[in-house]
Amino acid sequence: MNVNNHLHIKNGRLIDPANGIDAVTDLFIVDGKVASTGTAPAGFNAGNSIDATGLVVAPGLVDLSARLREPGYEYKATLKSEMQAAMQGGVTSLICPPDTDPVLDEPGLVEMLKYRAGKLQQAHVHPLGALTMGLKGKALTEMMELTEAGCIGFSQAEEVIEDTTVLLRALQYAKTFGFTVWVRPQDAHIGRGGIAHSGPLASRLGLAGVPVMSETIALHTVFELVRATGARVHLCRMSSAAGLELVKAAKKEGLPVTCDVAVHHVHMTDADIGFFDSNARVTPPFRSQRDRDAIRAALYDGTIDAICSDHTPVDDDEKLLPFGEASPGATGLELLLSLAIKWADDYAGMQHGAAGSSSPLSRAIAKITTDAARIAGLTVGQLAPGAAADVVVFDPAARWTVEASALASQGKHTPFLGYELAGQVKATIVGGRIAFQRQV
């Protein structure tokens, strides 16, 4: 028995929402798998240990949207830099959209991405395949071949399919083979060219607007197609109160739909654009306070299934420009945990008196672990015996300031620069191996 493959994480507060665990206990890992919690398995002899006294031990985070910028955009970020960012953020599994260059519409490209990511031995990378060739919304890709190459679903990223018949055919095909189609709900024409939420602020600043109806019209179309086909659809980056009401109704109807929200939309509003701060230029745009509050409530009541980082690194040349010319996007891998904790802290009072409710922190962790894994069809995000030992150990009380120099990601731009946040990752374990450990 090789004790070097034995890891003992002791005295931590183990939070495993998938299995209803929230208690101070030990975690024992053998040969890359969770062996047991509480009591050591027979013959266990720790080759390595982590003292997690005062810390939280949780499943490694599962991020539903992280752009790694390879292939094609290495000047914005590289696999090496973004994988390091994932480790510092406690993200052990991530889903990457297909809008690389070239687009992920060929099996060979998918296999190359997975091979290069695998060589780094850090986060597990699960690509989404392009729904149409070149993301041009015309011809469907070979979804079966892309799935065999490693794709877990299919997406148009930020490109809209203008011909609804193409989307119908895609959903029919996806239903036949049990694939999930990931859709960012936006109308092909309304709001095109817009860069801020349509409202008083955009008018005052002279910025072209993206109205909420761009999201709701698209949702109506998607739901009609889901009714017709029965295909499973995941709605990416919800942004509005009106859109969430439609999702809630669709779920009540029993349609096979799930949705997520970008973690920055949980906290920011269009007012955070301030005096044309290009760090607040994101897609979809930050909306009104009413929309932001609806997002927070929808996370609490389960209408929103998961939180993602929507990690989109952008270089200085494309970000340090006038608001309307700057590229949309923000770095998020290293902020996902802290901003989820911030939501939990803000909403701690809401769970008071709720029947059978878990702790706010456990709810937040569920949204970025087990709930996200379920959407992606992955078996990670939980710590039952036999599960892959992907683990994050973090201090929920440790405070850190978001500064460009503190970020491992090559993308240094986020609307949270200068913010002090709680929650700092102390160690990230991937497959039972300590892939990152913060130096004291």
Active site residue 310: yes
Give the Cα separation of 237 and 194 in Å (integer): 17
Which amino acid appears at position 397 of this protein? A
Give the Cα separation of 54 and 11 in Å (integer): 8
Residue 1's Cβ-count burial label (10 Å; 0-12, 13-18, 19+) is exposed
Pick from 143, 152, 129: which is nearest to 174 by CA?
Answer: 143
DSSP character at residue 192:
T
From the candidates 310, 317, 345, 395, give the one annotated as an active-site residue: 310
Strand partners, 2: none
- Strands 257-262 and 306-308, by their bridges, are parallel
Give the Cβ contact number of residue 3 at 10 Å: 13
Long-range contacts of 326-330 (CB under 8 A, 24+ apart): 326/278, 326/281, 327/281, 328/195, 328/281, 328/282, 328/283, 329/67, 329/281, 329/282, 329/283, 329/411, 329/413, 330/264, 330/279, 330/282, 330/411, 330/413, 330/414, 330/415
Give the Cα separation of 262 and 236 in Å (integer): 8
Pick from 124, 70, 75, 79: which is nearest to 102 by CA?
Answer: 70
Give the Cα separation of 45 and 139 in Å (integer): 56
Give the Cα separation of 396 and 357 in Å (integer): 20
- 237 alpha carbon, distance to own chain's centre: 9
Report the phi/psi class of residue 6: left, alpha or beta, with left for phi > 0 and alpha for psi in -120 to 50. Answer: beta
Give the Cα separation of 282 and 280 in Å (integer): 6
Cis peptide before 211 (omega within 30 of 0): no
Helix (H, G, I), strand (E, B) or coil at 400: strand
Give the Cα separation of 403 and 357 in Å (integer): 35
Counting every residue written for the chain, the total comes to: 440
Give the Cα separation of 201 and 180 in Å (integer): 37
For helices 289-301 and 336-346, angle between their N-to-C axes, nearest 10 degrees: 90
Question: Rounded to 5 degrees, what are φ and ψ at 95?
Answer: -105, 130
What amino acid positions are annotated as catalytic residues?
Answer: 310
